[in-house]
Chains A and B, each alone.
Chain A
């Protein structure tokens, strides 16, 4: 698994977005989970909640501390990942897979363009192009 998959968009706050039509899946990046350490608690908004781009979306707690998650896009919450609430360590083990957090109905697909490309995110976290991995 690449630490920055090529098919996603990224926020500077280390969330990722996978857009499929007007549905966006959101999680936190491999880099973010590594910085956090062992995730032990995830707090996410309920279905139907409206979120605004770059506003607070929830909280991840590691053994060490709590960190906010920010919504990389605006929209209505379609689903929160119950599996990740029950098994928070999925954020560490599969940040781009079963460790996803929220699905939203995109309010404005144009917002995706305001996010970072994989290449830009790699340089944002100081990973040199092509080096990949961690």
Chain B
């Protein structure tokens, strides 16, 4: 069989990224900007001022109809049935075995309408998963290819977005969502993000993406806005200890060991509920922990060592530009998961000392 390199998709903002001098890399089937100016400078801009992200590769599923609430509530681990209109919640798609199919945010965008945002790499898989449970009383629409997503994140995000909308986004509570107009374009605006900063995610039709991107860069120019690539998105989310699907969580991990038990509403019926309840009752054999490494950068796949034995592995690791430390997430046996426990990370054959620390590594001042 002839093998062909798969064609990479481009978001509606591809030309903008190139014009801004971004380094483009393949990511989840898309050509995405990994950095513009540099990861550290971009990371700092989001913490101190504000940054703009193109997240149009992410997937958007719409559920509508009489049965939408019950279906999404069954698919997702968290309390979806309890969502008020204009509220959003983080949760997990889990399978019968109680492991993680994806992590998602569900936005209640109408009386019987829900928007589920899924990871780009999982769109096909999640769609198949959803279709298995879909009944006649729900209209399901995968809007991933037609929808652009721009995030504005950082302490100055609200000021900039406020100047560009008809809605008072400043009044929007955390995890609030509202139908709005941004720079004259119909948009769904939510106070959500993946950086540990205040900020918003703006969903628009593909043909409105340019206007939103350019308009927000323009309005933010005097406030120090910068375009932010996937590189800084990763360092920001790791400092804030947000899980990255495919790194920290996947179909071999369960929510309890992944530190995501809080997303599981065990007093409702959802797919995998019984398996997860059993793990919780028994106590997980391993747990994900935060590590600070003293003298080296831990990376995904590095082994965690205790008393000369390999006991676990690193799932994410980097230098945290704000915390100024080498930080990582790793699975270790439960007995080694207490804060203050000394372990080591095997980096290029050398066992480098590391300590289990409290997470998040970074929390913004209120």
Residues of A participating in the B interface, judged by any CB pair closer than 8 Å = 37-38, 40-41, 43, 59, 61-66
The total number of A-B Cβ pairs within 8 Å is 37
A43 to B34, CA, bound (A): 25
Q: Is the CB of A41 within 8 A of B35?
A: no
A38 to B231, CA, bound (A): 11
- Does B270 count as interface, using CB distance less than 8 angstroms? no
Q: What residues of B have a CB within 8 angstroms of the CB of A38 in the complex? A: 38-41, 321
Residues of B participating in the A interface, judged by any CB pair closer than 8 Å = 34-35, 38-41, 231, 235, 296-297, 299, 318-319, 321, 326, 348
Q: A40-B297, A66-B299 are in contact. Are A61 and B39 (CB under 8 A)?
A: no
Q: What residues of A have a CB within 8 angstroms of the CB of B231 in the complex? A: 37, 63-64
Q: Is the CB of B319 within 8 A of A61?
A: yes
Q: What residues of A have a CB within 8 angstroms of the CB of B348 in the complex? A: 43, 59, 66
Q: What residues of B have a CB within 8 angstroms of the CB of A65 in the complex? A: 299
Q: Is the CB of B38 within 8 A of A37?
A: yes
The residue that A61 contacts in the complex, of B34, B41, B235, B297, with Cβ under 8 A, is B297
A68 to chain B, nearest CB (A): 9
A31 to chain B, nearest CB (A): 14
Most buried by A among B34, B40, B348: B40
Nearest CB to that of A35 among chain B residues?
A: B23
A63 to B321, CA, bound (A): 9
A87 to B299, CA, bound (A): 21
A133 to chain B, nearest CB (A): 15
Q: Is the CB of A63 within 8 A of B299?
A: no
Closest 7 CB pairs of A and B: A40-B319, A38-B40, A61-B297, A63-B39, A41-B297, A38-B39, A38-B38
Q: Is the CB of A64 within 8 A of B296?
A: no
B362 to chain A, nearest CB (A): 15
Q: A37-B35, A37-B231, A41-B319 are in contact. Are A63 and B296 (CB under 8 A)?
A: no
Q: Is the CB of A41 within 8 A of B39?
A: no
Most buried by B among A37, A59, A66: A37
Nearest CB to that of B34 among chain A residues?
A: A64
B38 to chain A, nearest CB (A): 6
Q: A37-B231, A40-B297 are in contact. Are A63 and B40 (CB under 8 A)?
A: yes
Most buried by A among B41, B231, B297, B321: B297
Q: What residues of A have a CB within 8 angstroms of the CB of B235 in the complex? A: 63
Q: What residues of B have a CB within 8 angstroms of the CB of A43 in the complex? A: 296, 348
Nearest CB to that of B324 among chain A residues?
A: A40
Nearest CB to that of A62 among chain B residues?
A: B39
Q: Is the CB of A63 within 8 A of B326?
A: no
A99 to B142, CA, bound (A): 51
A43 to B326, CA, bound (A): 14
Q: What residues of A have a CB within 8 angstroms of the CB of B321 in the complex? A: 38, 63
A-B contact pairs, 24 of them (CB 8 A): A37-B35, A37-B38, A37-B39, A37-B231, A38-B38, A38-B40, A40-B297, A40-B319, A41-B296, A41-B297, A43-B296, A59-B348, A61-B296, A61-B297, A63-B39, A63-B231, A63-B235, A63-B318, A63-B319, A63-B321, A64-B231, A65-B299, A66-B297, A66-B299
A5 to chain B, nearest CB (A): 23
Nearest CB to that of B318 among chain A residues?
A: A63
Q: What residues of B have a CB within 8 angstroms of the CB of A61 in the complex? A: 296-297, 319
B35 to chain A, nearest CB (A): 7
A40 to B321, CA, bound (A): 9
A67 to chain B, nearest CB (A): 12
A41 to B319, CA, bound (A): 9
> Beyond the given A38-B41, A61-B297, could you list 15 further A-B residue pairs with CB under 8 A, ordered by the A residue number?
A37-B38, A37-B39, A37-B231, A40-B297, A43-B296, A43-B348, A61-B319, A62-B39, A63-B39, A63-B40, A63-B231, A63-B235, A64-B39, A65-B299, A66-B297
